[in-house]
């Protein structure tokens, strides 16, 4: 009688896949496709492209599965592949158009509850878009995907302290940007967003 794949941990499913169990890979896809699509959308801001990122990421993961040694979680390893794939897609788009600056990150998850005003949401999206790639990536993974700094470090292939520093720098840049806004009501409104996400600096 076959194993109940639903109760297996990711790493156990990986071992099943390595022995030729294709159903185990289907379970992996079902388990992670929604979060992968959500994250990809925040990078590329285009549903068709995000779906391409997800499909390519799963294909790459399947092809490289023997290289997965379990030093990090499978989710971190899969997200690392997706982040790199999304960046490659954006580089391809940059070569095809000069309007790459119009690509914006979607605001969602934790932030959505406090971003009730569309104007403020747009302001925050624009400021997030201005962040350096590493800081933007750390912010997305920490606030919107609720990943630990260890997972972020695995995904970004950098030391733990570097992942945490990138997040801190991103948050401080956003805070500084909105404190400089001439529209004080916008700056005050951003304070709520800042307070909400600041907790992610310390909480593991």
Domains in the chain: how many in total?
Answer: 2
Q: Are residues 149 and 189 in the same domain?
A: yes
28 and 79 part of one domain: yes
Q: Do both 120 and 145 map to the same domain? A: yes
CATH code of the domain in which 176 resides? 1.10.10.10
- Closest-CA residue to 124 (of 159, 171, 87): 171
Contact between 88 and 60 (Cβ < 8 Å): no
Q: 166 and 145 in one domain?
A: yes
Question: 62 and 130: one domain?
Answer: no
Between the two ends of the chain, the Cα-to-Cα distance in Å is 40
User: To 10 degrees, the CA torsion angle through 177, 86, 108, 28?
Assistant: -150
Same domain, 169 and 193: yes
pLDDT for residue 203: 42
Q: How far is Cα 159 from Cα 162, in angstroms, rounded to an integer? A: 5
In the DSSP assignment, the letter for residue 100 is G
CATH number of the domain enclosing 35: 1.10.1740.10
pLDDT beneath 70: ranges in the chain: 1-3, 96-122, 181-204
Question: Among 70, 96, 122, which residue terminates a domain?
Answer: 96
Alpha helices in 45-159 (DSSP H): 47-63, 74-96, 118-129, 133-139, 149-156
Q: Which residues of 139-154 are buried (b: 16+ CB within 10 A; e: fewer)?
A: bbbbbbbebbbebbbb
State both tokens at 67. Answer: 């290289």
78 shares a domain with 118: no
Q: Which of 79, 96, 113 is the last residue of a domain?
A: 96
The closest alpha carbon to 158, from 135, 132, 128, belongs to: 135
pLDDT of residue 103: 44
Query: What letter does residue 148 receive in the DSSP assignment?
Result: -
55 and 132 housed in the same domain: no
Q: What is the pLDDT of residue 43?
A: 86
pTM given for the model: 0.71
165 and 82 fall within a common domain: no
- pLDDT value for 69: 83
**pLDDT reported for residue 2:** 55
**Residues 67 and 113 reside in one and the same domain:** no
- What is the predicted pLDDT for the residue at 146? 83
34, 51 contact by CB (below 8 A)? no
Q: Which domain holds residue 57?
A: 5-96
Give the angle subtended at the CA of 171 by the CAs of 204 and 80, to the nearest 5°: 60
Distance CA 106, CA 124 (A): 10
Final residue of a structural domain among 58, 74, 96: 96
Same domain, 60 and 132: no
Cβ pair 94, 136 in contact under 8 A: no
């Amino acid at each position: 009688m076959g194993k109940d794949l639903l109760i297996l941990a990711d790493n156990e499913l990986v071992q099943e896949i390595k022995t030729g169990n294709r159903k185990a890979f289907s379970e992996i896809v079902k388990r992670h496709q929604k979060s992968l699509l959500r994250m990809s959308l925040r990078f590329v801001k285009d549903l068709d492209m995000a779906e391409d990122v997800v499909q390519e990421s799963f294909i790459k993961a399947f092809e490289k599965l023997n290289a997965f040694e379990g030093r990090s979680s499978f989710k971190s390893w899969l997200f690392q592949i997706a982040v790199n794939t999304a960046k490659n897609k954006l580089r391809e788009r940059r070569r095809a158009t000069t309007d790459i600056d119009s690509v914006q990150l979607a605001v969602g998850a934790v932030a959505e509850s406090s971003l009730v005003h569309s104007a403020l949401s747009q302001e925050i999206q624009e400021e997030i878009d201005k962040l350096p790639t590493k800081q933007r990536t750390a912010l997305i993974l920490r606030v919107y995907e609720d990943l630990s700094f260890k997972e972020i470090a695995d995904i970004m292939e950098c030391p733990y302290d570097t992942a945490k520093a990138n997040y801190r720098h991103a948050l401080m840049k956003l805070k500084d940007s909105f404190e400089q806004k001439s529209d004080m009501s916008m700056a005050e409104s951003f304070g709520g967003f800042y307070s909400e996400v600041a907790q992610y600096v310390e909480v593991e």
